[in-house]
Structure 1
Amino acid sequence: MHHHAPLAILPQILLSIPFILIFIVYILAVFKTNRTYRPWPPYRTVMLCLGTGLAILSVAGPLAERAHYDFHAHMAGHLFFGMLAPLLIALAAPIMLILRALPTRLARLLSKGLKSRPIGWVTHPITAAFLNIGGLWFLYTTSLYSLMHEHMWLHVFIHAHIFLAGYVFTISLIYVDPIYHRVSYLTRAIILVLSLALHSILAKYLYANPPEGVSATEAQSGAILMYYGGDLVDAAIIFILCWHWYKAARPRAAFDG
């Protein structure tokens, strides 16, 4: 097994700053909009606090240090940073809040950007699943996992990708913020099930085929955590998607009856 050097403080700072800024901007936007509009739902603010806090915990401090040489801790960080934190932040509806807080002209510009073709392409569930699940397969089945512990900027880039891919994947499946390029519930459900299967298959693959530089014992422990921990987060996404689907279909069912 490779013995990696301790994680430097700089990548921890670089990866933490965006979430600190997101937290500050979000809280300021809540105070600003509450003076003009009806109060912003407190549970959304709680979700944002939990999501940003969990993200920072994953990339800075004891867990991040241990994840640098312990695959089980790394996988815990992956679940927090790449799955749970993106879900919590998505449920906080940050785009909706920012649109509410911005002056009308800037809000329209942001809306126009969100309606653009590149955004529609990136946020399509198929693209988002490829970036998210495909990225994980590439990370763990090549030498990239080992290399990211040896090169600081690669470490930062990969972690940024893991969060952004997880966030885009989440918002491509559950529509909390305004989504201008919508996909049917059935399509999203199919892609979610396939992605869940590929995530589980990867966990089983890692159980038998440790990444470069990881012992068999750590690989098995981390793979088990990835398999069952991933299922819990995916179950939450499935529940939210099905609940939205039910609410969307309910008026039509009542009308048909």
Structure 2
Amino acid sequence: MTLTHAGHPADGFPAAALVPLVLFWGYLAAALGQRDRAGWSHRRTVSFGLGATLLVAGLLWPARDLPGHMVQHLLLGMLAPLALVLGAPGTLALRAVGPRTGRAAVRLLRHPAAGALAHPVTGLLLTAGGLWLLYLTPLYRASLDNAGLHALVQLHFVLSGYLFAWSIAGPDPGPHRPRVPVRLVVLGVGVAAHAALAQVLYAGVLVDVPATAAELQAGATIMYYGGDLAEILLALALLVTWRPERAASRPQPAAVSP
């Protein structure tokens, strides 16, 4: 018998759905505050607004069964984080705060621990590895009846998805990241990990998911094709960031700053 997710929107409007709206309000206020300076890209503002909208949609999505849960994961853990990352909220925050706070933040980002956390492999382990742990252990089953655990799973989707998207293609400043070819390899491993998990779910082997065979197959199909779409978008975002890297690799006059 299929179980219903704890904390489903039918139980009342989730307060967590207000958080993305508050975040976008703060982002918009900071972006408007840049009008007297160098300005701020409208495309970044639109991207962050889209990400906040996708987060709200994911939190309100009716995840009554595994296919609904997979759509929710796609929104919260893949599409929304990518849109938020491309909004460059870190860059905007650094421009909005004072120079002293900005320098302290940059020093923090240069700490070795920050570099380890921001590595694409870390993001891969938290995203793809987290999904394997969720579906191959009793964790998913337990989250169906425990609203607090269910909220933590959703939070993990968002934070790990954001970290992975930023580590692959984020425009914000941060610790030194591997070169683009390495990030492409990590992204390729992520694609393979999602595809393999989708096949396992489709076959219904090794997984601990209370769902019918039809629901398992529908959920696996959403994971397979929806994940492919999100990862293609992430790869495109990475290729866009590759352009300045190629330009920077050409010989430049000594007087020109990198």
Matching residue of 1:50? 50
1:22 to 2:19 alignment: no
203 and 246 in structure 1: CA distance in 2 versus 1, 3 angstrom threshold: same
**Is the contact made by 1:196 and 1:234 (CA closer than 8 Å) also made in structure 2?**
yes
1 CA distance for matches of 2:175 and 2:217? 42
Tell me the equivalent position of 1:126. Answer: 121
Alignment map for 1:58-207 (pairs within 5 Å): 58-60=58-60, 63=61, 66-67=62-63, 69-207=64-202
Could you tell me which of 203, 217, 221 is aligned with 1:220? 217
Partner of 1:38: 38
Q: Which amino acid aligns with 2:50?
A: L
Report what 1:3 is aligned to.
Answer: 3
Which structure dedicates a bigger proportion of its chain to helix?
A: 1
Alpha-carbon distance in structure 2 between the residues aligned to 1:187 and 1:3: 41
- TM-superposed CA distance for 1:4, in Å, is 2.7
Aligned-pair distance for 1:117?
A: 2.2
2:29 and 2:164 map into 1 onto residues whose CA distance is 27
Q: CA deviation at 1:206?
A: 0.6
Distance 2:242 2:32 in 1: 32
| Letter matched to residue 24 of structure 1 | W
**Superposition TM-score, scaled by structure 2 size:** 0.89
Q: Which amino acid aligns with 2:213?
A: A
AA aligned to 1:188 is: R
Unmatched 5+ stretches in structure 2? 253-258
What SS class does the counterpart of residue 214 from structure 1 fall into?
A: coil
Contact 2:85 2:171 in 1 (8 A): yes
Question: Does 2:231 match 1:234?
Answer: yes
The verdict on how the C-alpha distance between 1:5 and 1:181 changes in structure 2, with shifts beyond 3 A counting, is closer
Deviation at 1:235, TM superposition (A): 0.7
1:205 CA displacement: 0.8
Deviation at 1:13, TM superposition (A): 3.2
2:34 counterpart SS class: helix
Number of equivalenced pairs:
249
Q: Distance in 1 between matches of 2:129 and 2:202?
A: 18
Contact in 1 for aligned 2:118/2:175 (Cα 8 Å): no
Output the TM-score relative to the length of structure 1. 0.90
CA distance in structure 2 between the aligned counterparts of 1:127 and 1:83, rounded to whole angstroms: 16
C-alpha distance in structure 2 between counterparts of 1:32 and 1:219, whole Å: 48
What is the letter of the counterpart of residue 138 of structure 1? L
Distance in 1 between residues matched to 2:44 and 2:175, nearest whole Å: 21
Unaligned runs of 5+ in 1: none
